[in-house]
């Protein structure tokens, strides 16, 4: 029902487009480690550094396009470069790398227990606590999926921004419609604004 979602989010799926590839897993793991390190390193600062999801998407896009251009097709009988970098690979990388940015709340809980209440958990219990907090949030979001994600009127601005950037960077049809009054492609407009 909302035109912003209809323009930026496709309602069709291409099942032949690959999602889980060597590129997406490798870039996703590297960016996940980098994002979790940056988030935890700056979490206890007075002015913490907040890395926006848009920056992660642009970095993943550049690395993915680089790997698609220069990575050999097979290494030791393992397909490493199945073709052009796809929007599904970019979405998987973004989901992987941004899933680790919210662990600071659980770590702050452990730090507050240690410094203010002098209650220390051993390492095994602390890791189990962190895993439980992450898995609890994922399971609650899975339970509320029917009410928060599936209905068409639900618009999530941050997710809409990510979908718009996905389509801008990896838009299949780079040509602009001849009948349109706007003659510039999304990608060219995006890079002009960035410059």
pLDDT in tens, 24-58: 999 999 999 998 888 888 878 888 777 888 889 88
Given a cut of 90, is residue 128 above it in pLDDT? yes
Q: How far is CA 77 from each of CA 28, 63, 175, rounded to the nearest angstrom? A: 22, 23, 37
Could you give the CA distance from residue 5 to residue 11 in angstroms, rounded to a whole number? 10
Take residue 171 and report the two structure tokens written for it.
């838009």
Could you give the CA distance from residue 195 to residue 191 in angstroms, rounded to a whole number? 6
Given a cut of 70, is residue 122 above it in pLDDT? yes
What percent of the chain is modeled with pLDDT above 90? 15
Mean pLDDT of the chain: 83
Could you give the CA distance from residue 27 to residue 68 in angstroms, rounded to a whole number? 12
User: In the beta sheet, which residues pair with residue 78?
Assistant: 75
Terminal-to-terminal C-alpha distance of the chain: 34
Beta strands in 50-178 (DSSP E): 74-75, 78-79
Model pTM?
Answer: 0.80
Phi-psi sector, 84: left (phi>0), alpha (psi -120 to 50), beta: beta
CB of 68 closer than 8 Å to CB of 23? yes
Note the pLDDT of residue 152.
75
Note the pLDDT of residue 190.
77
What length is written for the chain?
A: 195
Residues 52-83 have pLDDT tens digits of 888 898 899 999 989 988 888 888 888 888 88
CB atoms within 10 A of CB 45: 8
């Amino acid at each position: 029902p909302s035109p912003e979602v209809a323009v930026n989010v496709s309602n069709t799926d291409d099942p032949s487009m690959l999602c889980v590839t060597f590129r997406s897993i490798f870039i996703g793991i590297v960016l996940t480690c980098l994002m979790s390190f940056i988030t935890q390193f700056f979490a206890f600062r007075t002015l913490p550094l907040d890395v926006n999801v848009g920056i992660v998407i642009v970095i993943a896009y550049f690395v993915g396009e680089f790997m698609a251009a220069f990575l050999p097709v097979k290494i030791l009988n393992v397909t490493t470069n199945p073709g052009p970098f796809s929007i599904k690979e970019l979405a998987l990388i973004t989901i992987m790398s941004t899933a680790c940015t919210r662990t600071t709340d659980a770590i702050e809980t452990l730090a507050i227990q240690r410094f203010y209440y002098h209650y220390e958990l051993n390492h095994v219990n602390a890791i189990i606590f962190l895993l439980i907090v992450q898995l609890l949030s994922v399971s609650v979001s899975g339970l509320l999926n029917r009410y928060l994600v599936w209905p068409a009127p639900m618009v999530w601005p941050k997710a809409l921004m990510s979908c718009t950037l996905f389509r801008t960077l990896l838009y299949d049809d780079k040509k602009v419609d001849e009948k349109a009054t706007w003659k510039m492609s999304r990608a060219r407009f995006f890079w002009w604004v960035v410059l």
